[in-house]
A and B are shown apart, each in its own frame.
Chain A
Amino acid sequence: MNDQNMRFLVVDDFSTMRRIVRNLLKELGYSNVDEAEDGQVAMHKLKNGTFDFVVTDWNMPNVTGIELLRQIRGDAQLKHLPVLMVTAEAKKENIIEAATAGANGYIVKPFTAATLDEKLKKIFANMAK
């Protein structure tokens, strides 16, 4: 599972942020990355392509990150897709909400490549179990 050709979908309404996440992923050796500017576009891309991992922002117009997560978990094809929530929402309720909705990980902005790597590795480890 943990290989460099994994295809990532980075979801954020702020293009600078998508670029940041993309750069960090590249730094970790993952260069197969596509982007979507909100949950709606993301869902469309997920249904029409093969992705191995979703990194999504929480707070977005139209379909938010948590709604996207629920849609993914509710979709027969996509429900096993690992989802890492990226957000500045450092509230306990948020974390619980993300966990209950089935997020595989939760990372708080701003973060470094090392933190991201650690999160990813943990998710891969959990999935391998």
Chain B
Amino acid sequence: MSDFGGMEDLLQDFLTESSELLSEVDNKLVELEKRPNDRALLNDIFRGFHTIKGGAGFLNVDPMVSLCHRTENLFDKLRNGEITLTPEIMDAILAATGVVRDMFGAMSQARQPAPADQHLLQALDNVLEGKSAAAVSHEPPPVKPVAEERAPLPQPGSPDWNQLYDGLLGTTTASSHNAREEQRPSPALSVEILEPEEAEPQVAAPVRQVVADPMSALKPAPAATLNKPATSSQQLSAPETTIRIDTVRLDQVLNLSGEIGLTKNRLTTLRSDIMAGKMDSATLKSMDEAIGQLDLLVGDLQNAVMKTRMQPIGRLFQKYPRLARDLARQLGKDVELVITGEETELDKTMLEDLNDPLVHLVRNAVDHGIETADERAASGKSSKAIVELSATQVGDHILIEITDDGRGMRPDVIRRKAVEKGLIDVETANSLDDKQSLQLIFLPGFSTKDQISSVSGRGVGMDVVKTNIQRLNGRIDIQSIVGEGSRFTISLPLTLAILPVLVVKVCDQPFAVPLAMVREIITIRQDQVQEVSGRATIVVRDEILSVRSLAHLIGWQETQLPQFGVLMQSAEHSFILAVDSFIGRDDVVIKPLQNIRPKGIAGATLSGDGSIVLVLDMEDLLASAHADNSAIMTSRLVEQTY
């Protein structure tokens, strides 16, 4: 059942807009820690809480109104210099934004949120009253100072503004009593009006238990938020049904569809002419032109539609400074998260799916990457650690980098751990170079810390990060220098909707492979194929690459010897995919196969002549064929070679 009957639309709008606003507030709070006296920041934060309060009021979410009211007042006092920002106050405010976010979570499930924790409200009230947030309070807090400063929330018992207003204007309104006013006599127009007789229940209610240190009750709050990131990520991963689009982009779509309409009209006329037997060269030339035009326009339209789905990655990034800050504080580290390239745009669905991996990588960098303060001091690094999160568009790819200036990763330690945990055997470990060793951290069950910390170790490992990135047709790579830091680079296609592919042919059947993985195309000369430890290989510019026949990978019999090799590059390794012939490159829209999911097939698409082309999922194909097929393939290829 919804607690917001009849207001669902409004609720959705409110949640979307307020969540963004709250993220901004969160980031500004992190900024504020660095520049506690910045008036513009204080003003912005004040307005943020004020706006959320206003919206929540209309939705009758009293717990949120009551909480935001306090934070708003607090920022009013901060900006007027009546209070100075202390770390305790900061903690209380950050805890408050966490609670507001949780309330958004409850509201997104159409539930009225529970009132904020009494200790938090108490701590905020203490600050408002000019006491230390952590002051020991043995008595019910006096209400007056708050009330004097501000009228309480509009609620039964608040003064009649009509009366007051009219009083100020000197006009009379005998009939201006509203329903709530009738419950008690209208107060005369005077300052007393502003001192409500009824105070907010939370404030006025005597504190039942003696709170020795209200802040101690607060302390776990940020940690609690951190330990269940599910709240925020669920909210994010729950598909948003609405999207905000720049009207300029929408207009482009409109213009293009208009032009396509015109071209269609022209073609219709031409069709009538041709059907009537008019087939002179001028008519055919016109048709050629019109189709060429249509080709261009449809391409542009596709791009324009795609652009409506593009969202700045900053919407995602803006959540992380707070995350990094809270985690760093909890771990006793001094970490600054530096963000660049927020304006880089990415397909909306990808943005949502990127959140969990990025959260994990940021946490990982702060928790594992950055050394403790003592270690940093010992190695002569500055006490403040920097974690950089950046996004850039390179060609048709987006690069996201998470770089830390921490301890770096030691390949030998990683190898040893992987063997100790039984993830790989000693021989495999010894055959890995340093770069490959780093990739071991993506294996399920790998964690370099002997003690899983309460912060990072929460079930989601680097293997999940990698799987999620791959699901987005992306790659993740690691660079690390011991003592200097690590960098995780995520490379993603701009969109999942259109995939550039290379169409190859095997056994007369076309297949599409993602162009992103294709490095180059070579001709396979049988005399180049060499057998190295039971595998067919070809040396390309001093690099020994294994040859894998596509026919074998999908379990078919070859009808001819492969003529061409596609040099494929995946995250860990390169290899040559042997195929019969090529058709060419194409931009395709992948349609998922319904009901069946053959191994190694991502979906299907239609080629220009209307035939069905299966799109290969190379990672999946390799994984499924890894164990046995390559061995068989080697013997076949080599047999046939000699």
Interface residues of A (CB under 8 A from B): 13-17, 19-20, 23, 59, 61, 88, 90-92, 95-96, 99, 105-110, 114-115, 118-119, 122, 126
Contact = CB atoms under 8 A, between A and B. Distances in A.
Secondary structure at the B interface, as helix, strand, loop or mixed, is helix
A16 B168 contact: no
A65 B28 CA distance: 24
B168 A14 contact: no
Contact of B176 (A14, A17, A122): A122
Interface of B: 10, 13-14, 17-18, 21, 47, 50-51, 53-55, 57-58, 60, 150-151, 154, 158, 161-162, 164-166, 168-169, 171, 173, 176, 178, 191, 193-194
Contacts of B57: 88, 109-110
Given A91-B151, A99-B168, A118-B162, 9 more contacts: A14-B17, A15-B13, A88-B53, A88-B54, A92-B194, A99-B165, A108-B161, A114-B178, A115-B178
A106 B17 CA distance: 25
A107 B162 CA distance: 8
A13 B51 contact: yes
Residue in A88, A91, A114 with the greatest tally of chain B CB atoms within 10 Å: A88
Nearest to B44: A61
Contacts of A114: 178
A95 B47 contact: no
Contact of A20 (B10, B169, B191, B194): B10
Contacts of B60: 110
Contacts, number: 80
B154 A90 contact: yes
A57 to B, nearest CB: 8
Contacts of B161: 90, 95, 106-108
A115 B177 CA distance: 10
Secondary structure at the A interface, as helix, strand, loop or mixed, is helix
A19 B13 contact: yes
12 contacts: A13-B51, A17-B55, A19-B10, A19-B13, A88-B154, A92-B164, A106-B161, A108-B161, A110-B54, A110-B60, A115-B178, A122-B176
Contacts of B165: 95, 99, 105-106
A7 B168 CA distance: 28
A105 B14 CA distance: 26
Residue in A59, A61, A90, A92 with the greatest tally of chain B CB atoms within 10 Å: A90
Contacts of B154: 88, 90, 108-110
